[in-house]
């Protein structure tokens, strides 16, 4: 079985990116050595970066390549390393050599190379000699035979390191690796982990989950509101029955449409008899339209029906004299 090397490019794919020339040259050299090379451009795979750790399974070695354009190794490469930490097979990573390639057009190529090497060691991977350099003009890099030979040597060194399975001295990063692996222990099979990473990168799936959560939230919220309204309904009827002051010989019917309820409150007076419930009647002498807050102010004595109407907090149609009698029938007293 032949050697397999994956190249993960974290730059933006600009034509004058010096990193592109370096990894293309390394690609050519490795293929001449009969290595199976596969390249992944992270900028083309924004929505599937979380699935890429699965591509490490068959790799013997990898090249992590990034470009420092203003500061740091860039977001795509950081996302890929995060995905390796979250979804990568740590047992498999332990056997993979990594060659860092960081070219800079401004400053920070050494720091970038160190970042990649350190991150891979903390993940448990095997370090390998890499390439870093300050190249403000990619054309100068392409025209230089000396630079070309240096890149070839680095590619050959990667091939030699993988084929001979060279070892290196342990570093303090290994201690950090132990702590990282202990704090992030997910009891998932590799198949479940792969499915999880695929779902996490699927925008349509994530959006559907958000919509389902909103729908469930709305459903239970409606249930809670309905329960509160139901409890409040019993309180309203109880209040009207408690403060009822019958007027002998008086007959009338009232309908209160409360904004927060689907069915109106019906009050029917027949001499001293009171019938108060929620439901529809064929005809009412007085119809009122108000919200629950206004009704609460009336029931707790902070306002009368007539004052609520005069203040514009309630609409009314029907016989005004019958409407005024409502405050006599229910003389609510403030608690």
- Give Cβ neighbours of residue 117 (< 8 Å, ≥ 6 apart): 98, 100, 127, 130
pLDDT profile of the chain (335 residues), mean per 10: 92 93 96 96 92 94 95 91 93 95 94 95 92 91 92 95 83 62 53 60 72 76 54 78 91 92 90 88 89 91 91 91 92 70
Q: Dig out the tokens for 32 from the structure.
A: 């001449």
Alpha-carbon distance 324 to 3, whole Å? 95
Nearest residue to 202 via CA among 8, 51, 10: 51
**pLDDT by residue (tens digit) across 226-273?**
554 454 567 889 999 999 999 989 999 999 999 988 889 999 999 889
- For residue 257, the surrounding DSSP H or E stretch is strand 251-258
What is the C-alpha to C-alpha distance for residues 34 and 232, in angstroms, rounded to an integer? 79
Q: Which domains occur in the chain, in start order?
A: 4-194 (3.40.50.360), 235-329 (3.30.1050.10)
| Contact of 33 with 156, CB cutoff 8 Å | yes
Q: Is 312 exposed, middle or buried (0-12, 13-18, 19+ CB in 10 A)?
A: exposed
Write out pLDDT tens, residues 176-197: 656 665 544 455 655 566 566 5
Residue 39, H or E segment: strand 36-41
* Cα gap 308→295, rounded to integer Å: 9
Residues 6 or more apart from 59 whose CB is under 8 A from it? 4, 5, 6, 96
Tokens of 303: 């306002």
Residues in the chain, how many? Answer: 335
Return d(Cα 262, Cα 279) in angstroms, integer: 9
Tokens coding 228: 């509160």
Closest to 290 (Cα-Cα) out of 305, 275, 274, 269: 305
CA 126, CA 62: separation in Å to the nearest integer? Answer: 10
DSSP structure class, residue 51: G
Contact by Cβ (8 Å): 139, 89? no
Pairing of strands 61-68, 4-9: parallel
DSSP 243: T
pLDDT digits (tens, 9 = 90+) for 205-214: 777 777 878 8
Number of H helices, E strands in the chain: 12, 11
The Cα 26–Cα 149 span in angstroms is 10
Q: Which two tokens stand for residue 184?
A: 């992030």
Q: What is the 3-state secondary structure (H, E, C) of 79-127?
A: HHHHHHHHHCCHHHHCCCEEEEEEEECCCCHHHHHHHHHHHHHHCCCEE
């Amino acid at each position: 079985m032949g050697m397999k090397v994956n190249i993960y490019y974290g730059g933006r794919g600009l034509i004058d990116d010096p990193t592109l020339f370096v990894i293309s040259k390394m690609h050519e050299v490795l293929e001449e050595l009969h290595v199976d090379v596969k390249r992944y451009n992270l900028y083309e795979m924004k929505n599937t970066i979380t699935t890429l750790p699965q591509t490490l399974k068959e790799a013997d070695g990898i090249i992590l390549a990034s470009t420092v354009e203003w500061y740091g190794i860039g977001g795509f490469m950081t996302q890929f390393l995060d995905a390796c930490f979250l979804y990568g097979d740590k047992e498999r990573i332990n056997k993979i050599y990594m060659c860092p390639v960081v070219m800079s057009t401004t400053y920070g190529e050494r720091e970038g190379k160190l970042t990649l090497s350190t991150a891979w060691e903390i993940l448990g991977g095997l370090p390998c000699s890499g390439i870093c350099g300050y190249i403000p003009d990619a054309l100068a890099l392409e025209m230089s035979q000396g630079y070309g030979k240096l890149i070839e040597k680095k590619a050959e060194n990667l091939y030699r390191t993988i084929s001979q399975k060279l070892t290196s001295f342990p570093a303090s990063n290994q201690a950090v690796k132990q702590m990282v692996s202990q704090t992030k222990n997910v009891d998932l099979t590799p198949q479940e982990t792969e499915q999880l990473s695929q779902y996490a990168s699927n925008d349509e799936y994530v959006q559907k989950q958000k919509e389902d959560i909103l729908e469930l939230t709305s459903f239970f919220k409606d249930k809670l509101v309905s329960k509160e309204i139901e409890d409040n309904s019993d309180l309203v009827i109880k209040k009207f029955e408690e403060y009822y002051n019958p007027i002998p010989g008086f007959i009338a019917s009232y309908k209160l449409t409360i904004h927060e309820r689907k069915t109106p409150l019906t009050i029917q007076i027949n001499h001293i008899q009171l019938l108060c419930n929620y439901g529809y009647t064929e005809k009412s002498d007085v119809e009122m339209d108000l919200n629950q807050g206004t009704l609460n102010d009336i029931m707790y004595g902070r306002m009368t029906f007539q004052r609520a109407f005069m203040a514009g907090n309630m609409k009314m149609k029907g016989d005004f004299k019958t409407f005024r009698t409502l405050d006599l029938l229910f003389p609510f007293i403030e608690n």
